[in-house]
């Protein structure tokens, strides 16, 4: 068991599970639980097939160095995407991702379509739930396969790494579902942006480390260097948030004036 992989996969997967569960909840509350859960179970079955196929193919046939490079690059892309959004939200240039707003928006959409609660299976509800769970689940599968395969080393084989990542993802899934079942409301209490920010930093750090290893870079202190990368990216993100809060666009947001007038003020 690799605890670093378990915790990284846990955090990354938790974000995806929260997003998927919000949609399943909307369909369940607005249409009916039968359609919502059927869509979710169908998506889970599809995902199981995809993960089984891709997992075996990746572990059996792809050389570890090339795999590390490819998944490292993918993790950097994923990580930078999430980090960028989180930094923009913290700096105030983008509104905070609000699960409650998404919930209300989806409910309004469904009401506008004239959807009524009914006990029979609803195709639209099944598809909506299926699509959301499949999309978010694919991201979880991606995280599990990439984290697990790339974490392989002398002590732990590829399948051992995948098992560790799968355990992290499974714990996240169980916790999110249990939490959702307990509160029976959108998961607005979890500060999603904080979670996305931490995951963005972790994905970028792991991606940098693995892509570097795949390219032949010898990191000082071996795996411990991941912690140094996390610290570097956290510090950078903090500096970037501070910088963005001083940009003309953000100052204009706060003052309620056009950005151009702030730019002129700064130039003068």
* Binding-site ranges for other proteins (CB under 8 A): 69, 73-74, 76-78, 80-81, 83-84, 87-88, 91, 93-94, 204, 208, 211-212, 215-220, 229, 232-233, 236, 240, 244, 247-250, 259
What minimum distance in Å lies between the beta carbon of 87 and other proteins? 6
Looking at the Cβ atoms of 44 and 74, the one nearer to other proteins is 74
DSSP state for residue 223 in the 8-state scheme:
G
What minimum distance in Å lies between the beta carbon of 44 and other proteins? 19
SS3 258: coil
What minimum distance in Å lies between the beta carbon of 195 and other proteins? 19
What minimum distance in Å lies between the beta carbon of 233 and other proteins? 8
Picking from 265, 199, 264, the residue whose alpha carbon sits closest to that of residue 233 is: 199
What minimum distance in Å lies between the beta carbon of 237 and other proteins? 8
What minimum distance in Å lies between the beta carbon of 19 and other proteins? 14
Q: Are 11 and 173 in contact (CB under 8 A)?
A: no
What minimum distance in Å lies between the beta carbon of 38 and other proteins? 25
Looking at the Cβ atoms of 121 and 215, the one nearer to other proteins is 215
What minimum distance in Å lies between the beta carbon of 212 and other proteins? 6
d(C-alpha 3, C-alpha 19), whole Å: 25
Q: Tell me the H-state helices in the chain.
A: 3-30, 33-61, 64-91, 99-112, 123-150, 158-183, 192-215, 225-244, 248-255, 259-267
d(C-alpha 37, C-alpha 40), whole Å: 5
6: Cβ–Cβ under 8 A, 6 or more apart, which residues? 164, 165, 167, 168, 171
Total Cβ atoms within 10 A of residue 179: 16
Looking at the Cβ atoms of 23 and 167, the one nearer to other proteins is 23
Looking at the Cβ atoms of 29 and 230, the one nearer to other proteins is 230
Q: Are 138 and 144 in contact (CB under 8 A)?
A: no
d(C-alpha 85, C-alpha 202), whole Å: 15
Looking at the Cβ atoms of 52 and 77, the one nearer to other proteins is 77
Looking at the Cβ atoms of 188 and 250, the one nearer to other proteins is 250
d(C-alpha 172, C-alpha 21), whole Å: 12
d(C-alpha 230, C-alpha 66), whole Å: 23
Q: Are 170 and 16 in contact (CB under 8 A)?
A: no
Looking at the Cβ atoms of 188 and 247, the one nearer to other proteins is 247
Looking at the Cβ atoms of 42 and 93, the one nearer to other proteins is 93
């Amino acid at each position: 068991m690799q605890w670093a992989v378990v915790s990284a996969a846990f955090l990354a997967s938790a974000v995806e599970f929260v997003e998927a569960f919000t949609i399943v909840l909307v369909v369940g509350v607005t249409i009916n639980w039968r359609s919502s859960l059927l869509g979710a179970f169908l998506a889970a079955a599809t995902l199981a097939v995809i993960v089984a196929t891709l997992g075996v193919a990746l572990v059996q046939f792809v050389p570890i160095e090339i795999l590390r490079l490819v998944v490292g690059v993918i993790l950097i892309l994923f990580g930078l995407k999430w980090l960028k959004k989180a930094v923009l939200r913290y700096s105030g240039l983008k509104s905070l991702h609000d699960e409650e707003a998404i919930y209300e928006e989806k409910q309004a959409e469904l009401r506008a379509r004239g959807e009524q609660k009914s006990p029979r299976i609803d195709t639209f509800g099944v598809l909506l739930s299926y699509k959301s769970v499949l999309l978010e689940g694919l991201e979880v599968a991606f995280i599990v396969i990439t984290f697990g395969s790339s974490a392989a080393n002398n002590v732990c084989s590829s399948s051992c790494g995948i098992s560790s990542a799968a355990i992290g993802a499974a714990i996240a899934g169980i916790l999110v579902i249990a939490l959702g079942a307990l509160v029976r409301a959108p998961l607005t209490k979890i500060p999603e942006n904080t979670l996305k920010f931490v995951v963005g930093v972790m994905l970028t750090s792991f991606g940098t480390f693995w892509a570097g290893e795949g390219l032949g870079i010898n990191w000082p202190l071996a795996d411990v260097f991941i912690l140094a990368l996390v610290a570097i990216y956290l510090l950078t993100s903090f500096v970037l948030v501070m910088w963005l809060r001083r940009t003309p666009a953000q100052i204009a947001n706060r003052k309620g004036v056009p950005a151009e007038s702030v730019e002129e003020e700064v130039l003068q």
